[in-house]
Amino acid sequence: MAATAQLTAFFKKRYTAREGKSMHPFRVMVFKEVSDHVRSWRFIILGALMVLTCMGALYTSITNLSAAAAKPDDPDSAFFFLKLFTVSDGTLPPFFVFITFLGPLIGISLGFDAINAEQNGRTLSRIMAQPIHRDYLINAKFTAALIIISVMFFALTLLVIGCGLLMIGIPPSPEEFLRILSFLALSILYVAFWLSLSILFSVRFRQAATSALTAIAVWLFFSVFYQIIINLLAKSFIPPEGMAPPEQIIRSQKLVLGLSRLMPGQLFSDATTTLLRPSVRSLGPLTMTQVYGAIPSPLPLGQSLLLVWPQLTGLIAATALCFAISYVLFMRREIRSR
Amino acid sequence: MEDRYIIELDGLTKRYGTLTAVDHLDLKIGKGEIFGLLGPNGAGKSTTILMMLGLTEPSAGRATVCGIDATVSPVKVKRKVGYLPDNVGFYDDMTGLENLMYIARLNRLSRKAAREKALQLLERVGLADVAGKKTGKYSRGMIQRLGLADVLIKNPEVIILDEPTLGIDPRGVREFLDLIVGLSREEGLTVLLSSHHLHQVQQVCDRVGLFVSGKLIAEGDIATLSARLFSSEPFIIEAAVDVPAGTTPELPAALILLRERLLGTADIKSVTYEKGTLKISCLRDCSAVIARAIVETGAGLTGLSKKAYGLDDIYQRYFEKQEAV
């Protein structure tokens, strides 16, 4: 009892100390944005969606785990725990594919009304009249959404790990854990890209609905139509087998692959596949001479990371570019109340 | 001498493409003054205010507020200036108190100090009983008063109010303006308020500036302005007369007689008659002479009033001039 009283006294003191201290305005803004998000219906719905996704993915992977583990020639058999994230029987996609699909939705929904809602609520000029730098607002919006995404993803992934641990009874090896963590970091980065894209639209378009629709249109374009276009191109580019010299075939293959990597979703799924399936050795075409003599064994984590480095930098660059454009647009904008 | 003026605008100009919104504006506002920026919509009032806060960069000229160049270091200026934008908005899903506390904390007040200050100001503007209500449920007048508290929470030296009375009912306007005047007098605040409502500004401002299409065409207190504008005929006296109705559609004979007699008097410039009222403009106050003349002509005098020029007339006069040009 005495210990509890001491503890309460300690926290009370900490709390009162914090009450009396002034915070940097940027932190105040981030706090406010985070609490706005957490209290909103939007966040509750997204959270529910994510929890359902996790449960569904976990269910399919666990029911199919024994079948997957029984394959004797599987080079990934040492990484049993990672299968929790990748195995599926085809009825429901595995966890990482779910993230490829849902990530954009989360990013877009957290950012599409970042700036234009302030403008339409006529709070923008009031906030801008406070002694803060103008970029605090857009930076705080981005930071807060990123914090929300990170916390949500961390919590859910750890939840999946925990449930998996309870059900299959095998703990992950340190390398598996690190791989899962890098997968997590990558997912957050992927969502951050969509977040910064939707913030860009929220600066550009006055109406929140327009900005949301535009962001969703971009997402649909990349996830549906872009693939169709690339398939059409590939058909006309790549000569039928045996009709052209191998160099030409490789060249056109590489071109098609390069085009499809303009798509952020492709970068993400390339990278996650490599991270979660350690046996993946290359993301491009391999010739027979390259494969000849190779033992189908998993790569160490460092090598896998090296393999996805271009994908990683590509995603970071795309995120930074979108954010930079929205930053410049916002800084040059004249703050009017109407 | 330098710090006698708290706001100094020096050749301030803002151009949007070919449109010049503010054209070489020079203006000095002293400490503790209530200054009214008057002009029709689109005259460049808001743009001028934005430049004073460093929210918009001027195309030319300088805006100095509290001795700080607003374009170069806007954050320092914004620390000392409270700004109430026209059509201000608050975060609808936060309470009035939370909204105020947020702004207070952006001004580096601690949570505790912010709460105390916010409660004190809510009391001050008469919103203490709705402090815990979400601002989405506030009425327009309440929002405006919350806006005033929001402006005051940073302990400003200057407050700038852009169209503060827009959309409030007449009684609310009266109370709101009284609140502003009271605050300004008590705490020595300099107030700059823009409006296109002449009467309201007239009631509270020490000095006004008339602003038309980007130019400040006149400034000074209302008496000075009217004296300058109406120097040819500074006094207008209205006399309500009761003339025995004639049979002819023309003016009654008594009235014609009266007009001739009045025009014959020194200092009286013109006499017009309309629906029982004589409008006499003269160079000095001739009410006594006029009254005697009316009575002696045999007409009944039912009312006599001296008309002072208000901002309305000043305004009107300017637009007449402009149309003439």
pLDDT band at B1 (very low <50, low <70, confident <90, very high): very low
pLDDT band at B322 (very low <50, low <70, confident <90, very high): low
In this predicted structure, the answer to whether residue B324 has a pLDDT above a threshold of 70 is: no
* Residue B230 burial (C-beta neighbours within 10 Å; 0-12, 13-18, 19+): middle
Give pLDDT, residue A225.
Answer: 92
Average pLDDT over residues A66-95: 77
Q: What is the pLDDT of residues A230-274, one digit of tens each?
A: 888 888 877 776 677 777 878 888 888 888 888 898 899 999 988
B136 vs A contacts (CB less than 8 Å): none
Give pLDDT, residue A300.
Answer: 85
List C-alpha distances in Å: A307 to A281, A301, A313.
Answer: 8, 10, 12
Average pLDDT over residues B142-167: 91
Give pLDDT, residue A280.
Answer: 79
A334 vs B contacts (CB less than 8 Å): 50, 55-56
Which of the two residues, A139 and B203, has the higher pLDDT score?
Answer: A139
Q: Which residue in chain A has the smallest CA separation from B86?
A: A337
Greatest CA separation found in chain B? 83
The residues facing B241 across adjacent strands are B301
Nearest-angstrom CA–CA distance, A256 and A237: 8
The residues facing B273 across adjacent strands are B278
Domain ranges within chain B, ordered by starting residue: 5-228, 235-306
Radius of gyration of chain A (CA): 24
pLDDT band at B323 (very low <50, low <70, confident <90, very high): low
Q: What is the pLDDT of residues B110-120, one digit of tens each?
A: 999 999 999 99
Residue from B119, B74, B65 nearest B96 by CA: B119
Interface of B with A in 108-137 (CB under 8 A): 108-113
Going by CATH, does the domain composed of B235-306 fall within 3.30.70.100?
yes
What is the least distance, in Å, from the CA of B230 to any CA of chain A? 37
What is the residue-averaged pLDDT of chain B? 84
Taking CA B196 as the corner, what is the angle to CA B142 and CA B206, rounded to the nearest 5 degrees?
85
In this predicted structure, the answer to whether residue A145 has a pLDDT above a threshold of 60 is: yes
Length of chain A: 338
What is the least distance, in Å, from the CA of B112 to any CA of chain A? 5
Give pLDDT, residue B234.
Answer: 63
Give pLDDT, residue B104.
Answer: 95
In this predicted structure, the answer to whether residue B2 has a pLDDT above a threshold of 60 is: no
The percent of residues in chain A predicted with pLDDT above 90, rounded, is: 45
What is the least distance, in Å, from the CA of B89 to any CA of chain A? 5
pLDDT band at A115 (very low <50, low <70, confident <90, very high): very high
CATH topology of domain B5-228: Rossmann fold (3.40.50)
Question: Which of A1-5, B235-239, B311-315 is least confident?
Answer: B311-315
- E strands in chain B: 5-16, 19-30, 34-38, 60-65, 68-69, 81-84, 158-162, 190-195, 207-212, 215-220, 235-242, 268-274, 277-282, 300-307
Nearest-angstrom CA–CA distance, A60 and B287: 100
Locus of tokens 């009214």: B36
Question: Which of B86, B91, B154 is nearest residue A121 as measured by Cβ atoms?
Answer: B91
Which of the two residues, B279 and B158, has the higher pLDDT score?
Answer: B158
Give pLDDT, residue A202.
Answer: 95
Residue A298 has which token pair?
């998993």
What is the least distance, in Å, from the CA of A130 to any CA of chain B? 6
Question: Which of A19, A122, A335 is nearest residue B110 as measured by Cβ atoms?
Answer: A19
pLDDT band at B311 (very low <50, low <70, confident <90, very high): low
CB contact under 8 A, A129 and B83: yes
Q: Where are the alpha helices (DSSP H) in B93-169?
A: 96-106, 111-124, 140-152
Residue B38 has which token pair?
């008057």
Taking CA A214 as the corner, what is the angle to CA A213 and CA A218, rounded to the nearest 5 degrees?
115
Give pLDDT, residue A338.
Answer: 55
Give pLDDT, residue B91.
Answer: 94
In this predicted structure, the answer to whether residue A203 has a pLDDT above a threshold of 60 is: yes
Q: What is the pLDDT of residues B223-274, one digit of tens each?
A: 777 676 666 666 778 888 776 655 555 567 777 777 788 787 777 777 877 7
Question: Which of A82-91, B88-97, B227-236 is least confident?
Answer: B227-236
Out of A210-214, B69-73, B304-308, B315-319, give the one with best mean pLDDT: A210-214
List C-alpha distances in Å: A144 to A102, A325, B225, B244.
Answer: 19, 19, 54, 82
Classify residue A240 by its DSSP letter: P
Domain ranges within chain A, ordered by starting residue: 2-18+25-332
3-state secondary structure B275-292: CCEEEEEECCCCHHHHHH
Nearest-angstrom CA–CA distance, B203 and B310: 10
What is the residue-averaged pLDDT of chain A? 87
B144 vs A contacts (CB less than 8 Å): none
Which of the two residues, B266 and A144, has the higher pLDDT score?
Answer: A144
Nearest-angstrom CA–CA distance, A195 and A105: 9
Residue B284 phi/psi, 5-degree rounding, is -135, 180
Strand ranges of the sheet holding B5-16, from the earlier edge strand across to the other edge = B19-30, B5-16, B60-65, B68-69
Name the 3-class secondary structure at B209: strand
B85 vs A contacts (CB less than 8 Å): 122, 125-126, 129, 337
Residue from A141, A135, A133 nearest A112 by CA: A141
Question: Which of A24-33, B100-109, B176-185, B221-230 is least confident?
Answer: B221-230
Residue B207 has which token pair?
């000095």
Q: Which residue in chain A has the smallest CA separation from B93?
A: A36
Question: Which of B82, B106, B113 is nearest residue A132 as measured by Cβ atoms?
Answer: B106
Give pLDDT, residue A108.
Answer: 95
Give pLDDT, residue A76.
Answer: 74
